[in-house]
Amino acid sequence: MSSALLKIEQMLHDWSTASLSNIFVSKPSISTDLELLAFKWSNNIDKLRILHWFDSWYIIPSSNSFITPAVWLQMYQLQQWISFDEFVAWLKSCWLVCPLNSCTCPSGLKYYICKHSIGLAMLLNKYEVNGKTHLQLLGKRRGKGTSKRVRTALLS
Ligand SMILES: [Zn+2]
């Protein structure tokens, strides 16, 4: 009996000290790949199609959107879908995004982070890419720019 209690005491001690050395994470980390995806998304999105709903909530069109965010919001408020298929089509047409916090896209719902959430934060100047990602972006730009300049120099 006492050996069992000693074991339990040891387990409790290990558990409580482990929680001190392992930092509690409340937000998922943002990888360089995700930053690059977010940067690409923020450059390609038609800014006029981003609808600011209220506070820090925005509605953005998905890649297979057939309605505007304004119509999407109207349908959301009316909540009168004729069929389930129509509801699913509406659901996948736009995403509800709160920069750096939430997005209703499949990736956002599964991993609590996605290119929309970060990309929108980039557009709103609420997020800056880290140094490593910045270097990759500069490298890509410089690569393209240099080849154009070289071509121009050769033609002139
Ligand atoms: Zn998303």
Tell me the pLDDT tens digit for each residue of 27-66.
Answer: 888 999 999 999 999 999 999 999 999 999 999 999 988 8
Report CA(117)–ligand 1 centroid distance (Å).
6
Report CA(54)–ligand 1 centroid distance (Å).
18
CA distance 58 to 61: 10
Report CA(120)–ligand 1 centroid distance (Å).
10
CA distance 85 to 17: 52
Tokens of 14: 């290990």
Query: Residue 79: left if φ>0, alpha if ψ -120 to 50, beta else—which one?
Result: left
Report CA(86)–ligand 1 centroid distance (Å).
21
Report CA(114)–ligand 1 centroid distance (Å).
5
In this structure, the number of other CB atoms found within 10 A of the CB of residue 85 comes to: 9
pLDDT in tens, 115-153: 999 999 999 999 988 877 888 888 766 554 444 444 444
pLDDT in tens, 98-117: 999 999 999 999 999 999 99
